[in-house]
Structure formats: structure tokens, C-alpha cells
Amino acid sequence: MTLQPMRVDWVATPPPGAYPRRRPGAPARPYTGPPAYPVPPRWGFPLLAWRWPTSVATDGAPTDSVDQAQRLARTASHALGLAGLTALWAAGSEVWRYVLLLLSRYGALSSTTVDVSDAMVRASSLVAVVAGIAGLVLTLLWLRRARSAAASAAGYRPSRSDTEVLVGVLVPGVNLVVPGAVAAELEHAALRLPASARPVPSRLVRWWWGLWAFTVLFVTFTVVWSFRSSVQALADGVLLHAVSDLLGAAVAFVTAVVVRRLTNLLLPVPTEALRRMRVVDVKDAPEPALRAIRASGSPR
């Protein structure tokens, strides 16, 4: 479904006090042309940057709003980006360890090199896990706000409660299906589609769903493989950990894209339809005509 930009009609009205009040029963004056002011007008729009309208929480009004979901989306995207970068760091540390394993076949390695490699693997793995947990928590907080905002916009409640979504994301096996279904339902509601229609995920959501499920399965296989104790199994486990880190980085980056995409669908006007314009130069414009006599009260 393609969203069309919202049409906005600007209506100009004279400010209070610009014209004298017409007495009751007096005939209306004929049109004499566009308005002209004896002095430069002192009224106008305030010198403030435009922003998305926010909702004020009142009695009986929902506290979840699109603005809150947008703020959480930015925070979650930054956390997911950090998690992806740390996962790349962990993958590089694992690759370095595997290179050292290959070099050890032809001679002994320096103890300093081995210690630095081990410290790099431990540090990168710990930081990647912490960043990944932070990104997951912030994404779940965003998901709660986004589902509430989408339900308010679409006019019907989600099919799953927040507790069911949390269980579906954390429980092994179930988390292969539930996250993708929740994303598809959120996209369906954000597009203001009817509740009777079956949610059909977009290509981005389908790719993210497949990447998420494959990553969960591959990480599970890597954890099971790590219980093997042979030398070849340990060496293969280093490569499996490196691939798992790369997949984790890909999931983090794609999840950040999905979060921004679904948040944009919740906005009243898609950000893709907005264009920032600025006047940088005026060419071939006639010189303005200056009045010989300035009106009283005008700036000198």
C-alpha cells in the first residue's frame, strides 16, 4: 500500500485590528485588491521550528502516542546500531583467534599475542552481549508504545497482549514465529488496514523474519557444538562463533531499519513525502521600488 501525502490548505485571515469594525446595517465594501498595510505587519508565525503535534495526557485520554513511539524508536535504533558494531568487533576477534590457530600449526606463538587475543575475545563478547540485551529491551519498549499507537490509529486492539508478546520473544522455539507475526500485525495496523483482512507482511518484514529465525537456529547450533571437546571441534567452534556474531550484527542493523520503517508508518505524514527547502539565491529579480516618503511609525 502506498501512502499519499496529506493535503494541507492554508487560509489567510486578517489579524485582529487590521480593519475597522463594520457597523451593523452598513453595506459591505467592494473588493479593492489585495490587502495593503500602512506599516510593516508586526504579526505572523512565531520563530519556532515545526514539529510533530504531541498529545496532552488528560483524564480518559491514552498516554501512548506516536510522538512517544518516535522517541523510543530513535533510542532503540541507536542501541541496535551499537549492538551491531560490537557484534562486528566480536566477529573480528574470533577471526583473529582462528588465524592464530592456523599459524600455530607451523610453530609456537608468543604468549603476549595469545593473551591479547583471548582478552579481545572475552571483552568483545561481553560488550556485545550487554549491548544486545540493551537493544532488545529498548526495542520491546518501543514495540509496546508502537502497538498502542497503531491500535489507536486503526481502531482495533492487537490480537496478542504485551505479556504474550514478551513470552513469544523470549521462549525458545516460539520465538521463531511470534516476532515476525507481531511485526506483520503492527505493520497491518499502522497502515490503517481493516481488522478483517489477513496481515500480509512487506518484503522488508519477511526478510527480517527469515533472518531472525535463521540466526536463532544458527546460534542454538553453535551453543550445542561448543560442548564438543575435540581439537577440530574447538577450531570449528571459533568459526561458528564468528558467523554467529556476523548474523547477530545483521539482525541488529535490519531490526533498526524495521523499527524506523514501522514508526514512519505511524506518522500522520510519511517523512519520505517531506522535502526540506531553503532559498539560497534569487536570480534576475527586479530591484524593489522604494517609497520616497515613509509612512509614520515605520522603521527608519
Q: Kindly tell me the burial class for residue 77, based on how many C-beta atoms sit within 10 Å of its own C-beta (0-12, 13-18, 19 or more).
A: buried
Query: What domain range is 244 assigned to?
Result: 66-268
Please report whether residue 71 resides in a domain: yes
Please report whether residue 291 resides in a domain: no
**Over 60: is that where the pLDDT of 112 sits?**
yes
Spatial CB neighbours of 57, under 8 Å, sequence gap ≥ 6: 63
**Over 60: is that where the pLDDT of 297 sits?**
no
Please report whether residue 264 resides in a domain: yes
Please report whether residue 41 resides in a domain: no
Q: How far apart are CA 170 and CA 176, in angstroms?
A: 10
Angle between helices 66-103 and 111-154 (to 10 degrees): 160
**Over 70: is that where the pLDDT of 159 sits?**
yes
Q: All 3 cell numbers of residue 207?
A: 526478510
Q: Kindly tell me the burial class for residue 167, based on how many C-beta atoms sit within 10 Å of its own C-beta (0-12, 13-18, 19 or more).
A: middle
∠ CA 87-88-89, nearest 5°, is 90
**Over 50: is that where the pLDDT of 109 sits?**
yes
**Total domains present in the chain:** 1
What number of CA atoms fall less than 13 Å from residue 91's CA on the CB side?
16
pLDDT in tens, 16-67: 666 666 677 777 777 777 767 666 666 666 666 666 555 444 444 444 578 8
Please report whether residue 274 resides in a domain: no
DSSP E strand stretches across the chain: none
**Over 90: is that where the pLDDT of 217 sits?**
yes
Q: How far apart are CA 176 and CA 9, in angstroms?
A: 47
Q: What is the pTM of this model?
A: 0.69
